[in-house]
Chains A and B, each alone.
Chain A
Amino acid sequence: MTDTMLPDDPQTVERLSSLTCVLEWVSLMPMHERKRFFGALAECNDAVQQVVVRILAVVKNPTTLPSERQRALMTIADALFPNSDDNGDYGLDLPASEAAAAAEHPSLAREVETMDAQEATFAQRLRELMELKRVSQLELANRVGCSQPAISQMLNRNCRPQKKTILKLAEALNVHAHELWPDIEVADMLDAVVSFQQPGYEMTNEEALALSDTSRPNRPKIRVKQLPSRR
């Protein structure tokens, strides 16, 4: 395609660019979900569509961490499906969506299992800590800056808390975050590994200095040998 065939209007270019991202995303959905998504997008007013476009930029950004990308996608889902469905649920059906993804990829199935177990532990620990510290749902909601129904949803496992919510809850209850969500450090470390591999990472002066100094190359101290393969 030549440049003359591309639209001049930057907003249109941005929207078309975001459309590519949308198409990549929806290609992973089952057909009936795909139709539902496009229907919802078409029904949105301009303001909501603009929000979706802006958040898609976060999804597309190569420096966005997987956890942030997941949250951005969930926000898009919430923007597109704001009304309750026949069952009175809001947004995407997370358990159904997870089950569909898990059925296709065994590694995701294990992650969903782990996440479910951690969510159950979280709800139980939150309830225990609230009882121990004699904090009501309303009081905790006030301390955290959310609504009482949001606390109730977490206790009843109707919504999964974000990391920042866990940190706020921990602070409000005066406990360490890992007492509420034991694997919060593990999730942080996995994010650190992703950022370590991220192309375009801007080195600090110290890193740049260390990696440009070839005057004292520290070489392996062990015998280096390629291992054989049997496959």
Chain B
Amino acid sequence: MTEHPLQLFAEQFTEADQTRLVGFSCGEEPWSRHVAQWIQGSDVLDSMKRGTRVWLFESTQGEVVGFGSLGTSRWRWPPPNGESTTILLIPMLGIDVRFHGQPSDPDWRFSHQLMSHLISEGQRTSREWHGDQGQKPDWLVLMVHRDNLRAIKFYENCGFELIPNVVRRENHLVMKLWVGE
């Protein structure tokens, strides 16, 4: 079957892929620079050691358009030593500046394709969760810098909602999306 020319491909990321990411940039704001540093440095590898899955998103021509990640964590409440809740989370995602706002056809917008894949993987993880892995994760969460208004708008358009009155490490807001059945 012939793929649509604007179709992205999701490839499992490995350390060897980092050589392809020299020059990868999401922009010059601090919250954009840390995205590139995360995937180009050792943070992504540390995260993968904790079970995070990472994908590179490639165009039909094989260019790296962006990357995304999906992991789980167990958060506790109430303190101290309360019950743990399994959470699905997106530690980091980013699109190279060359592909921001691309393509003009909203049905094939790269940012939507990328997020669509991460949500789909989140739903699958929730659906296929085994009881012996602990409580099934139904929420997908992500963190966003409070000044990164463009990203907040994008996540809202995808269905995420800000968790009210939550600010982590001074400047980061948390958004949630239901991926359970």
How many angstroms from the CA of A213 to the CA of B119 in the assembled complex? 20
Q: How far is the CA of A189 from the CA of B31 in the complex (A)?
A: 7
Against B, the Cβ 8 Å flags (1 = close, 0 = not) of A104-127 are: 011110110010000000000000
Distance in Å from the Cβ of B82 to the closest Cβ of chain A? 7
Q: A108-B42, A208-B77 are in contact. Are A229 and B166 (CB under 8 A)?
A: no
Counting CB contacts under 8 A, is A6 at the interface?
Answer: no
Query: Which chain A residue shows the least CB distance to B178?
Result: A217
Q: How many Cβ-Cβ contacts under 8 Å join chain A to chain B?
A: 186
Q: Is the CB of A197 within 8 A of B41?
A: no
Chain B residues 88-120 with CB under 8 Å of chain A are: 89, 91-92, 112-113, 115-117, 119-120
- CB-contacts of A186-213 with B (<8 A): 186, 188-208, 210-212
Q: Is A228 an interface position by the 8 A CB rule?
A: yes
| Stretch in A80-88, A91-99, A139-147, A219-227 touching the partner | A219-227
**Contact A201/B73 with A106-B18, A217-B180 known, Cβ cut-off 8 Å:** yes
- Residues in B with CB closer than 8 Å to A183 are 30, 33
Interface size of A by CB at 8 A reads: 51
**List of A residues within 8 angstroms of B8 by Cβ:** 227
- B19, closest chain A residue (CB): A106
Which residue on A lies nearest to B44, using beta carbons? A107
With known contacts A111-B42, A202-B77, A221–B178 Cβ distance under 8 A: no
In the complex, how many angstroms separate the beta carbon of B65 from the nearest chain A beta carbon?
11
The residue of chain B having its C-beta at the shortest distance from the C-beta of A191 within the complex is: B169
- Quick check: is A231 within 8 A (CB to CB) of the other chain? yes
Residue in contact with A220 in the complex, picked from B30, B34, B46, B159, CB distance below 8 Å: B159
Contacts of B177 in A (CB 8 A): 218-220
**Closest 7 interchain pairs by CB?**
A217-B178, A208-B77, A227-B10, A221-B159, A189-B34, A185-B30, A203-B77
